[in-house]
Homo-oligomer: A and B are copies of this chain.
């Protein structure tokens, strides 16, 4: 794979930035990867494990002279971080991000960036419930989608290079507009996460069922919910606060449908339940056919 950028700077050194650095190196996509995280502890860890070529003590230093600067911090921190690095950006540089919400990030970041700097938001659809500088791995983006959010004014050359970077990291790149992105993700990720958090919270609350029972007897279903609900609290707080509208719309529809199914249970309408459950099966088949999951049984999961 040929080099795409001379210097890439990663601001924030968690799961996503760490995986990017490892994936960039794997394919030789940049001559140098610099990194910065706000806490001395994270920077020390990143240095210790050699996460980037150079870990800097300020965001300005990491961003200086970089051809691409990627903001890899929680959504709520994107604006302040953009403001901080703005004066240090090289003319012609590209700024991107990896935030799970796009409209709010565009609104928070764009106003800070100087003329002559290209801003192209991005969102890799890949993650785990782990976080921090030790969570990353080079394969995270392999065969996953990365959605780019260019607009009509986006420089085609800058866009092409960012595409090449993500492809080089293993991802399939597609374009989407910010508003549609936020709605699609509300359906496929944000609402499911809130629902999983809620269900795990309910279990934890229940006086008549002890915590140890919830843990011991967690079968498929709840066990999957707990994994989802173990995701980073800061990241998810920011996602919900910044994708309010779409998330609330989807949750509203969800509640409506849930009430219809609850009514069917209460009245004993087995046909409605059966038909509903048959319909949802088809979607699963589509996902397996699209290669987004495997059909292997995962009772207890495969140990590695």
State the A residues within 8 Å of B (CB).
76, 125-130, 137, 140, 142-145, 147, 183-185, 187-206, 208-209, 211-234, 236-238, 240-241, 244, 247-248, 250-251, 253-255, 257-258, 261-262, 265-266, 268, 270, 273-287, 290, 292-294, 296-304
Which of B187, B251, B255, B293 is in CB contact (< 8 Å) with A203?
Answer: B187
Check A214 against B199 for contact (C-beta < 8 Å): no
Give every chain B residue within 8 A of A248 (Cβ-Cβ).
262, 265-266
Which of B262, B293, B299 is in CB contact (< 8 Å) with A223?
Answer: B293
Give every chain B residue within 8 A of A300 (Cβ-Cβ).
142-144, 292-294
Check B189 against A222 for contact (C-beta < 8 Å): yes
Check A215 against B280 for contact (C-beta < 8 Å): no
The distance in angstroms between the C-alpha atoms of A294 and B299, with both chains bound, is 11
Known: A218-B287, A220-B128, A227-B284. A205 touches B253 (CB 8 A): yes
The distance in angstroms between the C-alpha atoms of A137 and B299, with both chains bound, is 11
Known: A144-B300, A283-B204. A223 touches B265 (CB 8 A): no
Give every chain B residue within 8 A of A285 (Cβ-Cβ).
230
The listed residue with most B CB atoms (<10 A of its CB), out of A214, A227, A261, A282, is A227
Interchain residue pairs with CB less than 8 A apart (12): A126-B299, A127-B219, A144-B300, A145-B217, A183-B209, A202-B250, A223-B287, A223-B292, A237-B274, A241-B270, A244-B266, A294-B304
Give every chain B residue within 8 A of A277 (Cβ-Cβ).
197, 229, 231-233, 236-237
The distance in angstroms between the C-alpha atoms of A127 and B226, with both chains bound, is 18
